Chain A
Amino acid sequence: MIDYVLTTVVRALAVGTPLLWASLGEIYAERSGVVNLGVEGMMILGAFFAFAVAHTTGHPVLGLLAAAAAGGAAAFLHAVVAITLRGNQYVSGLALAMFGLGAAGVLGRGWEGIPLLTTLPEVSALTYLGLGLAVVLWGALYHTRLGLVLRSVGEAPAAAAAAGVNVILVRYAAVVFGGVLAGVAGGFLSVAYRPSWTEGMTAGLGWIAIALAIFAGWDPLRAVAGTFLYGALFFLSFRLQAQIPPEFLRMLPFAFTIAALAVMARRQRGQGAPEALGVPWAPGER
């Protein structure tokens, strides 16, 4: 029994790790006022580049760095469209998700089925690093000047600009940072969690990471709690396959997300979201 509980906790941690990294990144991007729905695309690009680099060089850590770079570069594209060109953030993010899934599928042809010889241990560095990161990001968000600047840019960009903040720069930095974390989240999948490259291996985790950011009320520490909840949900869905049709279990995280958003909406009633979330801003605008 204790074994069972322990296994569940450890596995929940492992499954939850990519969700945690990706949703921490999304929380920071959204705190700056920019929605990035491209998490799924950034993650899968991260997963592919991490695998390709780790396999070529034999160093999983180099793979993770490549994943971070790929996620950051993809997020930069979204930043250009969403911040500079002031395009519709929701649709731009969707485009990024489509593009990432497509490009990773094309690039990854021929890399499938190859095992990775040197991998990261499953629950280790990135899980603990992620937990530490959540605490650091929480502290930075609420107790540093940088966090104040980030929040003010997401709440009232015009006021922040009047106070001398470079709104555009802060938004770019937050969105690219979010992409870097999403890239690492994807890299974790291909060099640690399931050390191999499979087309479509993110399997919707990116979308759940976005929902988790909302569910957590854009608070890094609450994202940790949500991560374990989802991790446990995913793990149980593997465990209960004998009793319940696996398709229903795989539906569960998505159905749960809808339910959770409904419950949160009832509680938050529009509060908690950065005031300027999703609204493009141009210098000089009030």
Chain B
Amino acid sequence: MKRLGPVAIEPVAAPSGAWVLAVSAGAVAAALAASAALFWAFGLSPVAVYRAMFAGTLADPRAAPEILRQSIPLLLCGAGLVVAFRAQFWNIGAEGQLLAGAVGATGVALFVPAGPWSIPVLFAAGFAAGAAWSLVPAWLRLGLEVNEVITTLMMNYIALFLVEWLIHGPWKGTAVFGFAYTDTFPQPAWLPVIPGTHVHWPTLAVGLLAAGGLAFLLARTRLGFEIRVLGQNPHAARYAGIDAARTTLAAVVLSAGLAGLAGAGEVAGIHHKLLSPSQVSAGYGYAAIIVAWLARGHPLAAVLTALFLGWIFTSGDVMKVALQLPFQVTLMFNGLILFFLIGSERLLAYRVRWTGVPRAGAPALVAAGNESTAATGVGGAHRR
């Protein structure tokens, strides 16, 4: 325990919800402050930047559907990543799995005769393609102990070039002249939207169901129990007779499949064609890592954190228009938020308690006992 005046700082095994919220909010605030400093160095008034950001999003009712629209892929990818991270599988490949899902859905939309079955079939194809994209990294990790962080990342680039090839080559639209995208999907393969918005609600509904379903899975089912044990203590899992490979694979396939659904939603709900990878995804798969990290291992919390990241993305778009900032401003925000989140993680292992003013003569700062290194929520990747 450390004493700082009237406040005691002591290690705890599990942080309280309020403390997690306080530390996360502090990290986000610090990230926004650091961005402000960068804007100032760049010659932009931070006040003007944040005013534009606020006025264009939270203060503007027309922005709400936009925030919601951008939250959909973030929710699907993020809720899935929560489960993968709980199983200690560091899936950095949601971006590629999303693109693979978009390819799968496009294949159905373009080449399967259209009908009322189009939407369910293209969702299924999106899930399958996304899941398939995770199989090589999963197999390498489980069979050969190859670090999945690198392999899932590499798969992102491979997916990116696969989409590029398809839209320039075999799937290039017949009526698009010089442009690089596919033909427009037939109408039955278009996802319905909330009127007057771009919110493709079936995908949103699937995302909410997935978050709820995964929360149930983790809390109430045998597979969820196995995932939790495996993530917390692989040795204990082995003694308990849990099949690590099967359990991990289930978590990975679920996570990758949901990212694939996100990709299907983007092409069938918004663009109605397959187009350049940077237009299919604005980096949702990478930002979903923040969604999952902020959600601290709880799929339902990902609903809120996805909305938060959706707000960051919408803010980036607003700043693009209002201040002529490039789209990378969102990436800068995301990087800093993630950075401060990781940096503040250790605070979660402690509790701050008010103990009153110490008696005169007592040392102001007493350090005793060893610091707890309790891993909290999604813990460290202490493995090569």
Contact = CB atoms under 8 A, between A and B. Distances in A.
Interface in A227-286: 245, 247-248, 250-251, 254-255, 257-258, 261-262, 265-266, 269-270, 273, 277-280, 282, 284-285
A104 B326 CA distance: 10
Given A94-B338, A257-B154, 15 more contacts: A87-B343, A87-B346, A87-B380, A88-B380, A101-B331, A105-B327, A105-B332, A106-B329, A109-B324, A204-B157, A211-B150, A247-B169, A258-B151, A265-B146, A266-B144
Given A102-B329, A211-B150, A80 B162 contact: no
B9 interface: no
Interface centre among B147, B293, B324 (most CB of A within 10 A): B147
Contacts of B221: none
Contacts of A95: 335-336, 338-339, 341-342
B150 A257 contact: yes
Interface string B257-273: 00000000000000000
Nearest to A100: B335
Nearest to B370: A284
Range for the number of chain A residues in contact with chain B:
35 or more
A251 B161 contact: yes
A37 interface: yes
Contacts of A211: 150, 154
12 contacts: A81-B339, A87-B380, A91-B289, A92-B339, A94-B289, A104-B328, A250-B161, A251-B157, A254-B158, A262-B146, A265-B140, A273-B384
A251 B332 contact: no
Interface residues of B, number: 58
B198 interface: no
B150 A88 contact: no
Nearest to A101: B331
A96 interface: yes
Interface string B90-109: 10100000000000000000
Contacts of B289: 91, 94
Q: Is the interface of A mostly helix, strand, loop or mixed?
A: helix
Given A88-B381, A109-B326, A247 B339 contact: no
Contacts of A182: none
A157 interface: no
A278 B381 contact: yes
A202 B146 CA distance: 25
Contact of B150 (A105, A210, A269): A210
A49 interface: no
Interface string A67-99: 000000000010011000111111110111111
Contact of A88 (B137, B145, B345): B345
A243 B137 CA distance: 30
Nearest to B327: A105
B110 interface: no
B243 interface: no
A233 B309 CA distance: 38
Nearest to B335: A99
A97 B329 CA distance: 14
A270 to B, nearest CB: 6
B365 to A, nearest CB: 18
B150 A207 contact: yes
B175 to A, nearest CB: 22
B295 to A, nearest CB: 14
Given A105-B327, A247-B165, A80 B343 contact: yes
A29 to B, nearest CB: 14
